[in-house]
């Protein structure tokens, strides 16, 4: 393994295990001005000699047998800045991303104050982010009751899509939408190519989540968020997707009972995509200790059998991608010992690759499929597939270089996101991130994050100009 500090205009990366869309093979990638300029499917002396003659002085970053994969695209991250920066901010979130092989995050529209529901609010968030980010950052817009007239301006600014809630979001400034709100929103968005993402829980009966029981037991909380809440929501979303033939996306699917309906909807040609999260694929309700509220999230983590069915959905393609739903908060909001009052959110942005790989390797899921789930499919969801998520000529030179055979132990001192509470502390996982490369430059290498933020805001030029000229 030999990495260079030389950040010249042109360089090469060499790996015996480069991950392409349908294969893993030796390759040498030439990088120029942050893009993949050419690829040789060889790593031998002849290639080195040829490239050295073609590009005199070109430095070679030799990864040896380490896996070189497209950088991870985490399309579901709550950064919370401005307004709740004590929960998480762009500086800490993107440092954690860089340490985890994530080269692009898409920030969700809520938990910041103000939420990303107007153009002015997007500008406020982008101004906070622009000088702090270690990886690239895209933004989701939000749909709340009454803001449909704001959506076109957010599309023009470059948001990757919109998110709404079919049940209370947990924060007052981002109220959930009604069925009529969704219909109005879809009518407004129909002429566009954007996507509408749904928090897919729907309460037919307001008493659904008012069950009693011992608050320190996870089962008490689990019974308050039954599979039926997700199934009812997914039925509505599938109906809208079919009726309007409009791109709809289901975020953080937790209930495997929805998979048949999702599969049937896709089979009818509807433009539906679905994500699930690291925690639903690696944790199980039966294993959650009493009082351990760091495991609480919405929708909830369900049982072992449900987890295996979700993996079946991943392997069959019914589930399109795996993301973090990184949703941290200050420790006191986790109200230790009370699952009914604790904030629902899990912190995992930094550890997605080893979490997924540790489980995937036991299920014979190859590197190419892992890359598809973590990189190319999230890039496609966000409209970034022309520059992110794939090793091909013309794409951004965004890579994660990692060792699938080496294990790590998650310890608090190694966590880069702001609040360190996570259900994964102490876990031993396979898949150590060795380096993260953003547009041909190292942003993380052998345990250290680069000193200077070099990430970019993935917004349209018109809004970037208004931010930069202030």
Determine what percent of the chain falls in helix, strand and coil, rounding each to the nearest 5. Answer: 35, 20, 45
Question: In whole angstroms, what is the distance from residue 90 CA to residue 101 CA?
Answer: 16
Question: Is 467 a member of any domain?
Answer: no
Question: Is 462 a member of any domain?
Answer: no
Both 184 and 232 in one domain: the answer is: yes
Question: In whole angstroms, what is the distance from residue 285 CA to residue 187 CA?
Answer: 39
- Chosen domain end from 363, 384, 405: 384
Question: In whole angstroms, what is the distance from residue 208 CA to residue 232 CA?
Answer: 12
Nearest-CA neighbor of 157 among 126, 129, 182? 126
Question: Is 184 a member of any domain?
Answer: yes
Task: Please state the length of the chain.
Answer: 470
Q: What ranges in 334-426 are assigned the alpha helix state H?
A: 352-361, 367-371, 377-381
| Chain mean position to CA 175 | 23
**Partners of residue 139 on adjacent β-strands:** 107
Per DSSP bridges, beta strands 10-19 and 67-70 are: parallel
Tokens of 203: 């309460």
What is the CATH classification number for the domain harbouring 373?
A: 3.20.20.140
Question: Is 27 a member of any domain?
Answer: yes
Question: Is 439 a member of any domain?
Answer: no
Both 28 and 174 in one domain: the answer is: no
- 47, containing H or E segment: helix 45-54
- Chosen domain end from 31, 50, 65: 65
Both 46 and 166 in one domain: the answer is: no
Domain that holds residue 28: 11-65
Structural domain tally of the chain? 2
- Chosen domain end from 384, 404, 430: 384
Question: In whole angstroms, what is the distance from residue 92 CA to residue 100 CA?
Answer: 12
Question: Is 453 a member of any domain?
Answer: no
Q: Write the CB contacts of 123 (distance below 8 Å, at least 6 apart in sequence).
A: 463, 466, 467
Both 81 and 191 in one domain: the answer is: yes
Both 223 and 282 in one domain: the answer is: yes
Question: Is 129 a member of any domain?
Answer: yes
Both 307 and 349 in one domain: the answer is: yes
Both 30 and 86 in one domain: the answer is: no
181 touches 216 (CB < 8 A) = no
Tens of each residue's pLDDT in the chain, 470 residues: 566 655 558 999 999 999 999 999 999 999 999 999 999 999 999 999 999 999 999 999 999 999 999 999 999 999 999 999 999 999 999 999 999 999 999 999 999 999 999 999 999 999 999 999 999 999 999 999 999 999 999 999 999 999 999 999 999 999 999 999 999 999 999 999 999 999 999 987 655 445 678 999 999 999 999 999 999 999 999 999 999 999 999 999 999 999 999 999 999 999 999 999 999 999 999 999 999 999 999 999 999 999 999 999 999 999 999 999 999 999 999 988 899 999 999 999 999 999 999 999 999 999 999 999 999 999 999 999 999 999 999 999 999 999 999 999 999 999 999 999 999 999 999 999 999 999 999 999 989 999 899 999 999 998 998 886 54
- 127, containing H or E segment: helix 119-129
Both 235 and 380 in one domain: the answer is: yes
Q: In the chain, what's the furthest Cα-to-Cα distance?
A: 74
Both 275 and 292 in one domain: the answer is: yes
Both 51 and 108 in one domain: the answer is: no
Both 279 and 324 in one domain: the answer is: yes
Question: Phi/psi zone of residue 439: left (φ > 0), alpha (ψ -120 to 50 degrees), beta?
Answer: left
Judge if pTM exceeds 0.85.
yes
How many C-alpha atoms does 25 have within 13 Å on its Cβ side? Answer: 13
Question: Is 443 a member of any domain?
Answer: no
The CA distances from residue 1 to 15, 50, 61, 331, 403, in Å, are 9, 21, 8, 40, 11
Both 58 and 124 in one domain: the answer is: no
């Amino acid at each position: 393994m030999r990495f260079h500090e030389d950040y010249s205009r042109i360089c090469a990366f060499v790996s015996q295990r480069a991950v392409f869309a349908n294969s893993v093979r030796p390759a040498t990638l030439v990088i120029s001005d942050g893009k993949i300029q050419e690829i040789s499917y060889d790593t031998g002396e002849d290639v080195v000699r040829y490239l050295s003659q073609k590009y005199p002085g070109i430095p070679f970053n030799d990864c040896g047998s380490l896996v070189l994969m497209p950088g991870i695209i985490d399309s579901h991250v709550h950064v919370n800045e401005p307004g709740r920066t004590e929960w998480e901010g762009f500086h800490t979130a993107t440092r954690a991303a860089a340490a985890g092989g994530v080269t692009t995050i898409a920030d969700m529209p809520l938990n910041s104050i103000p939420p990303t529901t107007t153009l002015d609010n997007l500008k406020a968030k982008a101004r906070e982010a622009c000088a702090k980010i270690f990886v690239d950052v895209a933004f989701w817009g939000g749909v709340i009751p009454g803001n449909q007239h704001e959506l076109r301006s957010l599309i023009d600014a470059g948001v990757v899509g919109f998110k709404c809630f079919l049940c209370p979001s947990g924060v007052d400034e981002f109220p959930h939408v009604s069925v009529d709100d969704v219909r109005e929103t879809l009518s407004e968005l129909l002429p566009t190519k954007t996507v509408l993402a749904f928090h897919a829980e729907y309460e037919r009966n307001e008493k659904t989540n008012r069950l009693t029981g011992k608050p320190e037991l996870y089962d008490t909380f689990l019974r308050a968020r039954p599979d039926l809440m997700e199934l009812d929501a997914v039925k509505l979303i599938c109906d809208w997707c079919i009726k309007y033939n409009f791109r709809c996306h289901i975020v953080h699917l937790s209930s495997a009972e929805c998979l048949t309906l999702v599969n049937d909807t896709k089979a009818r040609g509807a433009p539906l995509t679905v994500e699930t999260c690291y925690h639903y694929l690696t944790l199980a309700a039966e294993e959650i200790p009493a009082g351990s509220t760091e495991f609480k999230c919405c929708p909830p983590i369900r049982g072992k059998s449900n987890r295996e069915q979700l993996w079946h959905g991943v392997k069959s393609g019914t589930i399109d991608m795996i993301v973090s739903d990184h949703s941290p908060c200050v420790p006191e909001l986790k109200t230790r010992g009370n699952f009914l009052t604790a904030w629902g959110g899990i912190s995992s942005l930094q550890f997605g690759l080893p979490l997924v790989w540790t489980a995937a390797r036991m299920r014979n899921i190859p590197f190419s499929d892992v890359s598809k789930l973590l990189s190319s499919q999230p890039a496609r969801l966000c409209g970034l597939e022309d520059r992110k998520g794939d090793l091909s000529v013309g794409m951004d030179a965004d890579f994660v270089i990692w060792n699938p055979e080496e294990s790590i132990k998650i310890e608090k001192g190694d966590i880069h996101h702001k609040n360190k509470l996570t259900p994964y502390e102490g876990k031993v996982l396979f898949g150590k991130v060795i380096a993260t490369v953003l547009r041909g430059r190292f942003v993380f290498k052998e345990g250290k994050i680069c000193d200077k933020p070099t990430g970019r805001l993935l917004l349209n030029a018109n809004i970037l100009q208004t931010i930069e000229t202030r």
